[in-house]
Amino acid sequence: MNILINSFSTKYNTAPFSKIKIEDYVPAITKGIQLTRAEIDAIVANPEKPTFENTIEALEFAGQSLDRITSIFFNLNSAETSDEMQKIAQEVSPMLTELSNDITLNTALFEKIKVVYDQKDSLTLTTEQAMLLDKKFKNFSRNGALLADDKKVRLREIDTELAKLKLTFGENVLAETNAYELHITNEDDLKGLPEGTIEGARSLAKSHEKEGWIFTLDIPSYLPFVTYAENRELRKELSIAYGKKAFQNNEFDNQQNVLKIANLRHERANLLGYKTHADFVLEERMAQNPEKVKSFLNDLLVKAKPAAEREFQQLTNFAKKLDNIDHLEKWDGSYYSEKLKQELFNLDDEKLKPYFKLQNVQNGAFTIANKLFGLTFTEVFDIDKYHEDVHTFEVSDADGNLVAIFYSDFFPRKGKRNGAWMTSFKPQYVKEGINERPHVSIVCNFTKPTETKPSLLTFNEVTTLFHEFGHALHGMLANTTYPSLSGTSVYWDFVELPSQVMENWCYEPEALALFAHHYETGEIIPQEYVDKIKESANFLEGMATLRQLSFGLLDMAFHSNNPSDITDVKAFEKATMEHTSLYPDVAENCMSVSFSHIFQGGYSSGYYSYKWAEVLDADAFAYFQEKGIFNKEVADKFKDFVLSQGGTDQPMTLYKKFRGQEPKPEALLKRAGLI
């Protein structure tokens, strides 16, 4: 009996991870596709006049069992993959793309949707129902329902090929990350490295049955090395290895994949009547069109570049004074930034880390969520998990009602991709009068505990945890009727508001006092450190802003123009980033080929949204600061009008209900010290 096919007889209907066998996935997905097709056929065959209920709502809840299976599979393919999982992903992705196309290109189904859509003004729909109707209609019209048959055939071919290319792109990056190791046997080469980093590298070498120390391209290993290692040649080696992932003219090279993806996206957009892929994407974003995005990015660039150039000069002078280095290279950036930060603020991560034990930081996030939104997190041990590193929590409200199930997964391992993300195994929705609560997960790559030390976070990792936790709150506090409008199912340039706003509490003494306690002595983080964290928050902010803008502009360069003239990915990238580059180019490196956000994830034509959301979050947090960072009235408004609403209304409408006005960019520029 395939465990995945029926509803699970588990507590809260949680995923029965330990009972799922690798051979269960393909039959379960195949069966899920069959069930979905039957549900669609039933909508089409219904002889009654199309209505919102029998067409739009029926379509919304079609395919739920398949969605459940695929969310489990693809989440694990990111967090706990294997060669077999990757093979299955390559096998099922075309099947799922074909199903998606069969639905959106189903003429009879679209005709029924159009009947309902054409009479929307005479229907008495709630705001949420009107949004759902609009979303369903656009999902069809924007994905080929109005195309001639020959063009529909081509659209299917493009979508199938894109699905495979995106998977291959990600697999190549992961393979290259896993293939490299820096094996050190001379203890002198470890000079400058923190004790915990050395210990982690030693235990990794032990697990590989090797002498000495092993460093990898996983962020908890890579970042401390390039930040602290005194050996410049080894920093260079590791930095170049990191920058040439999938750019080595071998079987894992992504250059052709980048060009194919960009060109197929452009062709697809043209087929659907749009000038470029960016025009297609941005129609469904707060930003609306490529011109507005480029104007937004370039406007910030004008304001940030003078500050960035001053900072770079300051860093260059500092490196010259300290080590007689004439020209800063990319592998010097983190190293001298950290040294300069220590000199200016007498503050380094090694001083701060003892106050940021992972367990305490997580509990701090829970406490802040309790003070703001009345949530309580209780760890439970009777909910199945997919790896021993995962922890499970029941989340309840002030009245003791279940709000969500929360999973946390914090340490790197071979089968887990780099980075940090929030996801869900089950969305929130209301069906047959029952408010189904969500199952939400955050996945990160923090330093593992060692034999002598617990997991201690850098301040950057603290803000990462709060960032992903903000996304998780958006998922957990969802309170909508329809799953496709629930939680983080919002316009892409609105989705980062809850995550980025949560980071602000990491800088507030009142919040830090709740969780920043020394892991050995229990002492609260000294006020002078808190002051320095706040002071140093804008340290090299111009350079950091320039870096983010460079990624956003690169994304737009690939997607807001016809990419058919691009023959050399590296040359194109270099030319595009010329105005935002401070360091000399590294010939062996190319960022585009491992730019997973835009070529594997969902950020194509959307990378600007990180900066866009910073404008929203700076403005939103300014409201909290005006009233008090734990002010219940502001927190309730944020919960009621942003976190619980998902995509049930236009983002700007929701934001203005919360804030009483449109966001002002000045709040961001002021916070960043750029004005």
For residue 36, how far is the Cα from the chain centroid?
28
- The two three-digit tokens of residue 392, written as one number: 């499970």
Q: Evaluate whether 516 touches 525 at the Cβ level (below 8 Å).
A: yes
Q: How many C-beta atoms lie closer than 10 Å to residue 400's C-beta?
A: 7
- The two three-digit tokens of residue 302, written as one number: 């004008």
Distance CA 290, CA 556 (A): 8
- What is the DSSP code (8-state) at residue 437? P
Contacts of 319 (CB under 8 A, 6+ apart): 325, 328, 332, 336
Please choose, from the candidates 180, 176, 317, the residue with its C-alpha nearest in 3D space to the C-alpha of residue 252: 176
- The two three-digit tokens of residue 45, written as one number: 């065959």
Cα–Cα separations (whole angstroms), residue 54 to 57, 120, 520, 551: 6, 15, 62, 44
Specify whether 468 is catalytic.
yes
- What is the DSSP code (8-state) at residue 357? B
> Alpha helix (H) ranges present in 82-180?
83-104, 107-118, 127-141, 149-179
Which of 80, 171, 468, 503 does the annotation list as catalytic? 468
- The two three-digit tokens of residue 402, written as one number: 């279940």
> Alpha helix (H) ranges present in 324-357?
330-345, 349-352
Q: Evaluate whether 192 touches 227 at the Cβ level (below 8 Å).
A: no
Which 3-state string (H, E, C) describes 3-15? Answer: CCCCCCCCHHHCC
Q: Evaluate whether 623 touches 509 at the Cβ level (below 8 Å).
A: no
Q: What angle do CA 669, 612, 640 make, to 5 degrees?
A: 105
Distance CA 167, CA 78 (A): 11
Q: Following CA atoms 661, 667, 669, 673 in sequence, which dihedral angle do they give, to the nearest 10 degrees? A: 170
Distance CA 151, CA 304 (A): 45
Question: Would strands 439-443 and 402-409 be described as parallel, antiparallel, or unpaired?
Answer: parallel
Distance CA 642, CA 343 (A): 41
What secondary structure does DSSP assign to 472-515, as a single string? HHHHHT---S-GGGSTT-S-TTTTHHHHHHHHGGGG-HHHHHHH
What letters, b where the CB count within 10 A reaches 16 and e where it falls short, cover 360-373?
A: bbbebbbbbbebbb
Distance CA 512, CA 506 (A): 6
What secondary structure does DSSP assign to 402-424, as a single string? EEEEEEEE-S--TTS-SS-EEEE
Cα–Cα separations (whole angstroms), residue 529 to 365, 507, 508: 20, 11, 12
Residues forming the active site:
468
